[in-house]
Amino acid sequence: LRASELPISGQLPFAQIDAFYERRFHPGGFIGGELRANLSWQAHFRESKLDVLGRDVARIGAGLNWRRDWIGPAGLVVETQAALDADIYWIEQDSRYQTEQSFATPSAGVTLRWPLSRVSARGAVDVLEPVAALAWSEQVGADIPNEDSQFVEFDQGNLFDLNRFPGSDRREEGLRGALGLSWTRSTPSGWGFTLAAGRVFREVDLGQFSDASGLAGQQSDWLLGAAVNLGGHISLQGRALLDDDFGLTKSETRAAWLTDEFQLGAAHIWVNEDIIE
């Protein structure tokens, strides 16, 4: 698709297979909550026969994830989560790695949310939600090549996740915490907005993330996010990552016009130069 990739087309995966199966259970008694069990299979192949540059990889994985929520005094919500993931890899045409590799990742976390709401005299609803989370995980076993987790997006969707890597080749490790605050307003006329801010703190920096991701270091960049809905037709979204000196690491702005007949959208992204990405 790109002229610059034609000379190395044999080094790009020409065939890829992905399969994922998940089943959810709701155990009773003391355990309670929701239990998710999954099986996955992923493989990709390159035409090149060169060592490293022609690497072929296949993976079979299995995972268990348990979650349970409680509502405590004054509306405090306690979310607990525990997970165990295991993967077996087969790696060909890369002399740096053994052909068969495997690792497992246990993880656990607890999140506290305190949603506070009010209704104004004109019917607008405000929801203010402070959130605090603590998580731990450790990868036990082999270290395998990173194929599916090269690019990490730090946003409101994964601020409190157990793992912020998008794929299976890397798992976030160590003890870490996250703090966040969001304010949402919705009005009877249909317009509204959400403002959010948050940050991740680590006991030890393991060097797992690039500078451009905003997650590098013992403390992540500040995450600032905003979304505005103007009457249901115009939608605006923005996200920025700022360091302690208010230097910009990454910014993303999106705008959309939405109707029943069509949708029109545009986006602008700015990111720090980073050789890793």
pLDDT value of position 258: 87
pLDDT value of position 86: 97
What is this structure's pTM?
0.88
Residues 117-139 have pLDDT tens digits of 999 998 999 999 999 999 999 99
Token representation of residue 38: 């999954």
Q: Cα separations (Å) of 92 from 17, 47, 143?
A: 16, 12, 15
Question: With 90 as the cut, is the pLDDT of residue 112 above it?
Answer: yes
Question: With 80 as the cut, is the pLDDT of residue 232 above it?
Answer: no
pLDDT value of position 213: 92
Give me the percent of the chain exceeding a pLDDT of 70.
100
φ/ψ (deg, to 5) at 62: -140, 145
pLDDT value of position 194: 96
Residues 70-94 have pLDDT tens digits of 999 999 999 999 999 999 999 999 9
Question: With 90 as the cut, is the pLDDT of residue 30 above it?
Answer: no
Tallying the residues shown for the chain, one arrives at: 277
Token representation of residue 90: 């087969």
Cβ atoms of 153 and 161 closer than 8 Å:
no
pLDDT value of position 108: 98
The sign of the dihedral angle between the CA atoms of 138, 140, 145, 148 is: negative
| Pairing between β-strand 34-45 and β-strand 15-25 as defined by DSSP bridges | antiparallel
